[in-house]
Structures are given as C-alpha cells and as structure tokens.
Chains A and B, each alone.
Chain A
C-alpha cells in the first residue's frame, strides 16, 4: 500500500470519525431530523427511538444501565456537570474535593471555580511514573470530603490511575468517585460496576465518533447519585442536562461505542504492538526517555523526550508530514511547558523536548516506519545544531552553567 501523507498520530487530541459512524448518522440530518422531545408525531418518535438505542449502545460499552447515561456536548461539559453538580447537590454534606495535579484543564479549572465559590480542593501530587499515591489520597479525606475526581487515563502520557483501588477508598469513606474517562473509554475495558465508578465523563470524538457529543455516567443504584443541573431549560436527561438532544451526534456516538465494544480488544493489541515498535525504534537514539509509567499505560500512547532538542523545533522538521503534539512551551500560548510533565518531575528542559504520540484505529505499520525514520533523522540533524548537545558530548554538566534567565 502506498504511504499517504500527512500521517495522523495525534489521536489523543481527536480521532477521525469511523466511516461506519458517519453512515449511521446521515439519515438523522435529513429524513429523520425530528426533535427527540416531540412526543406527538412520528418525526419525534423516530428521533427518540434512535436516542434510546444509542443510549443502550453507550451504556453497554461501560456496563452501565441506559438510564445512567446523560448525554452532553462532550467531556468538558461532563467534567463541569459532575464536579459543579455534586458540589451543589451535596453542599449539606461537605465542600471538599480531592483531585490530582495531572488532571485535564476541564477538571482543574472547574476545581479552581469551586474554590472561588468557597469550596476546598486538595490537589494530589503524582510520582515520577504519573501515578497518585493511594495513602496520600486516603489521608486527604476529611469529614467534609464529598468527591474524589481522578482521571482514568492521562491525555498527555497515557498513564492509567489505579481506579479500582481509588474507588475502594472512596467507598470506604462514603465519598463519591468521579473519573474523567475521556482517553480510556473505548480504548481499554472500563466497567463502571467492577470499577465502582459513581460518575464518569467521556466523549465521542476520542473514540472515532463525532465532535460535540459526549456523556456523563451518573450511578443510579448503590449509591443513587444526583447532580444539580448546570443549565436550566426543558428538563431533558432526567432534569440533569437541558437542551435539545443532538440526535445525529448521539446516534454516531452510539455507533462508535458499539464498534469499540466489538473491536477494542483487537485494536488495543495491534496498537500496543505498534506503539512498542515505535518506542523501541526511537529509543535507539541516545538520550531519549519515555515519560510516565510504562506498565500502567494506555495501549496507544507514548510520550518521549529527546534531550537537547526543543520540541517545537523538532516538530517543524516533519510536521508537514506527521501530525503530533509536543509538551514544549512554544506550542501553547502560555510559553510554559506542559504542567503534566512537570508534575512528573521532569525538568523544564526535558518537558520542552517531549513529543506525544497517539496512535489510532487507522494507524498502519508503514506510517510507524516512516515516523521512526523521520524523527530519528530530525533529532540527529537538530542535535548537530544544538549547543547543548555539543556541551553534553564534551562532558560539560549543563547544571554548572550560569544561564541568563529571561
């Protein structure tokens, strides 16, 4: 097969829609365009039926009851609804939330908002491998704690938190457990019952579904969990999320979940093999390091630092042909390198030198071969141009140099 460029290896940012998903969605834009809340005519009935079916498909993927699925616009909304909704609903029980420093901004910024409202938030640190310490988690619980919010799999390094151990601690202390499952659901088996998850946000566009649709799982039994709606309106989704249902999006989300259900195991096995090959190839370079736990990691993710070259400069060498992300400052507006990598204890220099690889369902072996070669070539070329590499080769300890800080 001929290699088509550019190659997409940024599947943690978003995934392409599976053509089977698009096919399932199409009728719901045109002939089946009804509002799922229209109870009085066949257009509405067809839409409602489609939403009900999708709700079953979504629920099945995470072993939930369809009634426990609240459709949202995506994981950011789910994160907001879960955290703010619990904070409001359980105000009489307490005002303390525990989260971790490596969470997605949708969780961290929501927690910052909670603090402004008078809530208390504990931000747990992580170890070098990206995992939280369970003892620290348990120690942080007070009689005011109402929620533990720890993500399933991390978007930057792919590290999988010990969800079952976390939920065990949450149960023991009568605290609700919310997890941001955006990167994990559809990629690895996630079972809300076996994992004892009370609330979970996830999104369609990270699992080959469309953008603009996601779900919040809200447990109905043992315990029955409720969240205060964050949007007022028609009382859709059992009063927890008002707004006309995005029927085509929801249909696509359902189909995407069904495909993941059927293909996840094979996809994960194939992708982890490819990922390992990619990693092995790139680690043949000197001074290249994998960031985060290798053992507890999503099968399709790798985050690697190439010391003495800068991430954005590195990506420029191939970004016309390979789509990737970097933890370098220069790719964000903030000029600060990735807070996740820094939380893992990486120095700013290594954080600046990192690349994130997100493989996906449509990644091929040929693409991996091309990527290994292109990156090795660029790293080697840029190191020839790097004063830091020259100093390293001369045996100069970079920490002994007095840098002019700006």
Chain B
C-alpha cells in the first residue's frame, strides 16, 4: 500500500506533537479510539478567552501513518480558528487533503471525533452545554 506524499510528510515531520495542561480552564482535551482497535488519538486545544480563537493545538496518536497524519493535519487546521469554525471541520476535508484511500477513511473520522470531543470538553469546562454529535460510521 503506497502512502500519499502528504501522509508521508506529516508522518515524518508531524506538526504539534505534545501535551497541553489539561487542568487549565481554557484547554479542551479529546481522547478517542481504543487500543484494541489499533487507533487512539488525543487532541487538545487551547482557547484564547478574550478572542475565542484557538491559540494552540497539540496531539498524540497511537495508530498507523494515516491516523498520525490526520491528527497532525487537524492540529494545523485548528490553530487560528474560532471554536465554531473548528466545529465545521469535516472528516472528508481531511480525506481530500491527505488523499486517504477508502480503508483509511476511519482515521479521518477519528480525527473529526477528536476535534469535537476536545471542543465539548472545553465547553463543559466553561459552563456551556455539550453539543450533540452526529454518529459517523467508522
């Protein structure tokens, strides 16, 4: 199975690997997937409280190259977006950007789930109601 150039690039030079302080009020953490399924993503956002803009995003991923690339790309896209704009990121955008083959679409779905889980964690921490998420097929 050949990987696209972009997947290889993200895998070789992942962007924003790391950990944010999850105890901070303005940090949202999403942990999705399961070790038994071969994919676990943890995605974190730090929101600038004055502007509502995501000032930083970090990830750590256990998974295949496509899963690592999907989460790396997601953190890049998140930075500079408002939380509402971030909610609009669709897994198919990731599929397109990385040229993921059909068997790897679940990696992009996981990344979208991780974004939404991080946003929801942020919302709950800040007294906002949790957003209802549509179920996507993995």
Interface residues of A (CB under 8 A from B): 308-313, 316-317, 328-330, 333, 335, 337, 347-349, 352, 384-390, 398, 401, 403-406
Contacts and interface: CB of A to CB of B under 8 A. Distances in A.
A385 B14 contact: yes
B36 A349 contact: yes
B65 to A, nearest CB: 4
A312 B67 CA distance: 10
28 contacts: A312-B64, A313-B11, A313-B64, A313-B65, A316-B8, A317-B11, A328-B38, A329-B37, A330-B38, A333-B103, A335-B103, A347-B35, A348-B35, A348-B38, A349-B35, A349-B36, A352-B35, A352-B38, A384-B17, A385-B14, A385-B61, A388-B40, A398-B35, A401-B31, A405-B36, A405-B37, A406-B33, A406-B34
Contacts of A317: 11
Nearest to A333: B103
Given A316-B11, A385-B14, A403-B33, A310 B60 contact: no
B3 A388 contact: no
Contacts of B37: 329, 348, 405-406
B136 to A, nearest CB: 10
Which of the four size classes fits the interface of chain B? 20 to 34
B62 A308 contact: yes
Nearest to B67: A313
A403 B64 CA distance: 18
B38 A387 contact: no
B63 A405 contact: no
Interface in B64-89: 64-65, 67-68
Given A347-B36, A386-B61, 11 more contacts: A312-B64, A313-B63, A313-B65, A313-B67, A313-B68, A316-B3, A316-B65, A317-B11, A387-B42, A403-B34, A405-B37
B39 interface: yes
A349 B65 CA distance: 17
Nearest first, the 9 A-B pairs at minimum CB distance are A403-B34, A348-B36, A349-B35, A387-B42, A312-B64, A387-B60, A316-B65, A406-B138, A352-B38
Contacts of B61: 385-387
A90 B39 CA distance: 48
A330 B64 CA distance: 7
A170 B125 CA distance: 67
A328 to B, nearest CB: 6
A406 B136 CA distance: 10
Contacts of B41: 387
Contacts of A387: 31, 40-42, 60-62
A87 to B, nearest CB: 36
Contacts of A401: 31
Chain B facing A: main interface SS: mixed
Of A384, A389, A404, most buried by chain B (CB within 10 Å of CB) is A404
A212 B32 CA distance: 45
Interface in B85-136: 103, 106, 110, 113
Interface in B39-68: 39-42, 60-65, 67-68
B42 to A, nearest CB: 4
B60 A386 contact: yes
B19 interface: yes
Contacts of A330: 38, 64
Contacts of A337: 38
Of A316, A317, A328, most buried by chain B (CB within 10 Å of CB) is A316
Contacts of B40: 386-388, 403
Nearest to B35: A349
B60 A390 contact: yes
B17 A403 contact: no
Contacts of B103: 333, 335
Contacts of A349: 35-36
Contacts of A333: 103
A127 to B, nearest CB: 22
A215 B63 CA distance: 40
Contacts of B38: 310-312, 328-330, 335, 337, 348, 352
B96 to A, nearest CB: 21
Interface in B6-30: 8, 11, 14, 17, 19
A310 B41 CA distance: 12
Contact of A386 (B32, B62, B138): B62
B31 to A, nearest CB: 7
Contact of B63 (A310, A348, A389, A406): A310
A90 to B, nearest CB: 42
Contacts of B31: 387, 401
Contacts of A388: 35, 40, 62
B60 A385 contact: yes
Nearest to B68: A313
B14 A405 contact: no
